[in-house]
Homo-oligomer: A and B are copies of this chain.
Amino acid sequence: QLKNASSSSKSDGGSSSGSESSKDSSRCSTPVLDAERHERLREKMRRRQDSGDRWFSLEFFPPRTANAAVNLISRFDRMGAGGPLFIDVTWHPAGDPGSDKETSSMIIANTAVNYCGLETILHMTCCNQTKDDITGHLQKAKRLGLKNIMALRGDPAGEEWEEEVDGFNYAVDLVKHIRNEFDDYFDICVAGYPKGHPEAESYEADLKHLKEKVLAGADFIITQLFFRSETFLKFMKDCQAIGITCPIIPGIFPIQGYHSLRQLVKLSKLEVPQEIKDVIEPIKDNDAAIRNYGIELAVSMCRELLDSGVVHGLHFYTLNREVATTEVLKRLGLWKEDPRRPLPWAVSAHPKRRVEDVRPIFWASRPKSYIYRTQEWDDFPNGRWGNSSSPAFGELKDYYLFYLKSKSPREELLKMWGEELTGEESVFEVFTCYITGEPNKNGHKVTCMPWNDDPLATETNLLKEQLEKVNRRGILTINSQPNINGKPSTDPIVGWGPSGGYVFQKAYLEFFTSSEIVTALLKVLKKYESRVNYHIVNVKGQNITNAPDLQPNAVTWGIFPGREIIQPTVVDPVSFLSWKDEAFALWIEQWAKLYEEESPSRMIIQYIHDNYYLVNLVDNDFPLENCLWQVVDDTFELLNSPAQQ
């Protein structure tokens, strides 16, 4: 008798704890076991099926412009929060899909995996391409950490289909090629046609082609869209009858508008059933009505599929839109409103980062930058950088990398951060408005900062009152977390990791401030020696600290049933110096450069950049009341005392 404690319902995804922004909503996948982090997609699918746990996936296409790409990535983050098992990105032969352009299929899929932490399938078509081209694309995908390919034929170049000798003529050729050249590295998905491929001689012949694709090495099938659940259920039965045993996932297309439906139907050569036409035609100019009908239709069809007992997962053709699909998923109860997270930060889905379970707290609000700067690291021994004393962070020079770009355009930022600054105090006010959520004096809310691209995180809200007070006086906070003395790992705000555990935090505060305040602070800190660890550094790298040696200080950790201790967030003195460069540069790159050169506004930001210090404080006594606010109060008191005047 050997039992296993399975069924712990642990999950991926979630907003970064310990951060001042709700960013890092790069939540990934679904409620899972620890094991899932190490599983291949086909294994995850099998396990979910075995446990009777239903799932969904989302299909996106690459956008046309860089701005649209930035928006799509935010959408990945938001929709990733619902817990898809995977997303997939289509391949547009006309759009240079394998290139390094911000809008290429390859780069969008790369971003989804590496920066949003989503399990991702990259589509790939093979017709009209040489073997070398295809192999090159696949090698690149592998290099970028992509692990799953949807192998497709693609559309012929001309009107009529002509077979190329020695070329790739069918998806099955691509499947064989992938297995020949890359062995078992990729999970391979192929397309199924519930009504038969429009160009197939017959439905039966098409089923035979599908079986060939599976025999050639495909791991599972996603179907073309269809309008009636019977269509899919019959198709599935027919597949099984000829010996196709791999998972077959129905492709769901929630009707979102009259024109998009017509276009899709034309492309796919499908016929819309008369009963649907009858409803749509009369309301074809009422988008909202069509969408509501589409949602109803999709929900009821999905319910029939799930109730059949043979369908475990649903694949959604989103058309890059959010509302309809999210609504369908919520009504079906598949959207995970509060997916618990395996770690307090979003886990990257890159295979080489699987074992990563420690990160410096500094990048809590900029996880994509952290991933970018550590992308060259070859492995993560002990779950982190190889040697903490030489982490060798990559340079971050291009603050305009599209996945680091602010979602807000320049005009918006100027409204939030001030068209014209009149002194350091106007900077204090910007920080204060960001914390309070109150509009600034021109009536604009400050919803992001150079260090935080999203509004204040729920956890940080707990500290709001104190944060407001100190920002108003020139302690410009960019990162903080409260202390936590053993809350359940399922706590909706601060919880993470498997259920049944307890999570802990040391209070943390990170801010920019003037040298006057630093001088007083250092006097005050003498009273707190050993209780409070501090690192104080300016842009030139002058570094004041009481940290013993160069050891990291664990500031977030968790204790779980039957596990070793996990300590996913640390204050690491060495990486702080790499973070310092980035944190100071953001003043200039994101803020100062909004203004004309030589303008007073720009000079104010430049002054702060040149003269302020970046400070971080840790209160080691996590079971007691957080003393960092007392440290700051004492500092202001000292500054106001007569002896200081």
Q: A8-B530, A500-B530, A531-B500 are in contact. Are A557 and B554 (CB under 8 A)?
A: no
Residue in B closest to A553 when the chains form the complex, CB atoms: B562
Chain A positions 560 through 592: 1 when the CB is less than 8 Å from some CB of chain B, otherwise 0: 111111010010000000000000000000000
Q: A533-B562, A562-B533, A567-B564 are in contact. Are A620 and B500 (CB under 8 A)?
A: yes
Contact between chains at B530 and A2 (CB < 8 Å) = no
Picked from B545, B561, B623, the residue with its CB within 8 Å of the CB of A620 is B561
Asked if A145 is at the interface of the complex by the 8 Å CB criterion, the answer is no
Which residues in B have their C-beta under 8 angstroms from that of A622? Answer: 502, 559
Minimal beta-carbon separation of A31 from chain B (angstroms): 15
Provide the residues of chain B in CB contact with A533, threshold 8 Å: 5, 561-562
Give the residues from 511 to 566 in chain A that come closer than 8 angstroms, CB to CB, to chain B.
522, 529-531, 533, 543-549, 551-554, 557, 559-565
- The answer on a CB contact under 8 Å between A548 and B4 is yes
Which residues of chain B come closer than 8 Å to A486, judged between CB atoms? 485-486, 623
Q: Which chain B residues border A623 with CB–CB below 8 Å?
A: 486, 502
Bound form: Cα–Cα A554–B6 in Å? 19
The answer to the question of A3 belonging to the interface, with a C-beta cut-off of 8 Å to chain B, is yes
A504 at the interface (CB under 8 A from B): yes
A544, closest chain B residue (CB): B1
Closest chain B residue, CB of each to CB of A570? B564
- A382 an interface residue at 8 Å Cβ cutoff? yes
Question: Which residues on the B side are within 8 Å of A559 (C-beta)?
Answer: 504, 554, 557, 622
- CB pair B567–A562 under 8 Å, yes or no, is no
Contacts of A34 in B (CB 8 A): 548
Instruction: Using A5-B548, A382-B382, A502-B623 as known contacts, say yes or no to A530 and B561 having CB atoms under 8 A apart.
Output: yes
- Report if A544-B2 is in contact (Cβ < 8 Å); known contacts: A382-B382, A486-B485, A570-B564: yes
Shortest beta-carbon distance from A443 to chain B in Å:
45
In the complex, which of the residues B3, B35, B546, B553 contacts A4, with contact meaning CB atoms closer than 8 Å? B546
Copies of this chain per assembly: 2
Q: With a CB–CB cut-off of 8 A, which chain B residues contact A501? A: 620
Interface centre among A35, A543, A559 (most CB of B within 10 A): A559
- A548 to chain B: closest CB distance in Å? 5
A5 with B553: CB separation less than 8 A: no
User: With a CB–CB cut-off of 8 A, which chain B residues contact A544?
Assistant: 1-3
Nearest-neighbour CB distance to chain B for A2, whole angstroms, equals: 7
A506–chain B nearest beta-carbon distance, Å? 8
Interface string of A602-640 (1 = CB under 8 A from B): 000000000000000010111100000000000000000
Distance of A543 Cα from B4 Cα, bound (Å)? 12
Cα A1 to Cα B542 in complex, Å, equals 9
Q: Which residues of B contact A567 (CB under 8 A)?
A: 564-565
> Shortest Cβ distance from A522 into chain B, in angstroms?
8
- Complex alpha-carbon distance, A522 and B3, angstroms: 11
Residues of B within 8 A of A500 (CB): 530-531, 620-621
Closest residue on chain B to residue A561 by CB atoms: B620
Chain A 253-291 near chain B by CB (<8 Å), digits 1 or 0: 000000000000000000000000000000000000000
Which residues of chain B come closer than 8 Å to A560, judged between CB atoms?
620
Chain B residue contacts of A504, Cβ below 8 A: 559
Q: Are A552 and B530 in contact (CB under 8 A)?
A: no
13 further contact pairs, Cβ within 8 A, besides A6-B548, A530-B561, A531-B561: A3-B544, A5-B548, A486-B486, A486-B623, A499-B530, A500-B530, A500-B531, A500-B620, A533-B561, A548-B563, A551-B562, A564-B567, A565-B565
Contacts A/B (CB < 8 Å), 16 sampled: A2-B543, A3-B545, A5-B530, A5-B547, A8-B548, A382-B382, A500-B620, A504-B559, A547-B562, A553-B561, A553-B563, A553-B564, A554-B563, A560-B620, A561-B620, A562-B620
Q: Which 6 A-B pairs have the closest CB atoms?
A: A561-B620, A565-B567, A5-B546, A533-B562, A553-B562, A3-B546
